A = this chain, B = another copy of it.
Amino acid sequence: MAADAPTPPVFETSWTDGRARVGRLATAHGVIDTPAFVAVGTQATVKSMTPGDLVDVGQQAIFCNTYHLFLRPGADVVAAQGGLHRFMGWDGPIMTDSGGFQVFSLGAGLEGGVGKLGSIFPGEGGMRRLKAGPSFVRVTDDGVQFTSHLDGSRHFFTPEVSIGFQQQLGADIILAFDECTSPLHDHAYTAAAMHRTHRWAERSLAAHGGGISRHGDRQLFYGIVQGGWYPDLRAESTRFTAALGADGIAIGGSLGQTKADMHAVLDLTVPLLPADKPRHLLGIGEIPDIFAAVERGVDTFDCVAPTRMARNAGLIARDVDGERLPRFRLNLRNARYKNDPRPVDPACPCALCAGFSRAYLHHLFRCDELLAYRLATLHNLTAINRLVAEMRSALVEGRFQALRADWLGAGQETV
């Protein structure tokens, strides 16, 4: 169980200032310059994007979901096609999760599931059932039985099963199997789940073994810090995961109800982590959250927000026609764009902004045309990747706080 990872450095920092840092994360399919945004391609496709599009938008790495790929087409099918990289035609770095999060969210339906921040509220005395009915998720120390959200079929995941699937998929970075709790869980339940997650982390690492995928490529293994939003549990989980001997550390689970809760979790967690290991923050991608994570020492982060927002006609920009956008998005369905000949963001080099007007994109969204989703996704991924690249430069050049103020305003909280 002890750290015996191969010696070539997986992660090197080239610059640090306080907790924030700039580095390079070496994977079997290329180097990721950090901090880096990892785009989500749940079902082995970043929705509407070809691999060539991903190169065009400056995408360094993508994130696929083991739960979804286990159900469709099956990890064995992907393995028979040579693994995820060959299956989807993406030759760059890929991360997969363990399936844990989806088992507890999609596999559980609403009740007792892991909700989005803000969509559910903490109960008293343990888990609050959001909906009556039998539970679809059964947790034992061995693993989790759950029900497919697609066809109701029953399945059983253990740490060994999850790592086995991830070895079949062949991602460059894989995650330990964990139990995700929600803000609805009380201290006692969260502690029990966390201790189970720690035992599972050890079993996951053992299953990871020599760290080679079924396709002969090196896979980096990340442990996951859990513990909900209870500071004592977070600290305990961080210390455990830091000592696990994993290649990197993911910070997962519920980070509380508010931005301040999330910041507090990061402020508590990151200083306890080893400096020489990469840190991934799961499910973060809103622009203020990216600034908060990067300045607190997070190296990579994944989120569906930029791509999902794109498909809902929310186009990322800092300002529009000289006016600040408080939520960093233009709603292209808005009738004000019907006759607007300007590009979404004149300063953006993406294919949408280089070639098409707001009026055209508005028309495409109004007609629910397929091209709308693709053009908007090209823009949002370009915008996020450019912003994160600018953060890297700004960190090195000592102007990160200026960049932050430029986006978030000077009045907002700083580190």
Contacts and interface: CB of A to CB of B under 8 A. Distances in A.
Nearest to A357: B81
Given A48-B370, A370-B373, A77 B364 contact: no
A367 B43 contact: yes
Contacts of A366: 72-73
A45 B87 contact: no
Interface in A75-89: 77, 80-82, 87-89
A87 B359 contact: yes
Contacts of A230: none
Interface in A39-59: 43-45, 47-52
A268 interface: no
B72 A360 contact: no
A169 B360 CA distance: 14
Interface string A354-384: 0111011011101101110111000000000
Taking residues whose C-beta sits less than 8 angstroms from the other chain, chain A's interface range is 35 or more
A334 interface: no
Contacts of A282: none
A145 B134 CA distance: 58
Contact of A369 (B47, B338, B375): B47
A139 interface: no
A393 interface: no
A72 B374 contact: no
A341 interface: yes
B47 A363 contact: no
A360 B51 contact: no
Contacts of A338: 73, 77
A50 B370 contact: no
A351 interface: yes
A16 interface: no
A197 to B, nearest CB: 29
B81 A371 contact: no
A371 B72 contact: no
Interface of A: 43-45, 47-52, 72-73, 77, 80-82, 87-89, 338-339, 341, 351, 355-357, 359-360, 362-364, 366-367, 369-371, 373-375
25 contacts: A44-B363, A45-B364, A45-B371, A47-B371, A48-B370, A49-B371, A50-B351, A50-B375, A73-B363, A73-B366, A77-B338, A77-B339, A77-B363, A80-B339, A80-B341, A81-B341, A81-B357, A81-B359, A81-B360, A82-B341, A87-B357, A87-B359, A87-B360, A88-B356, A374-B374
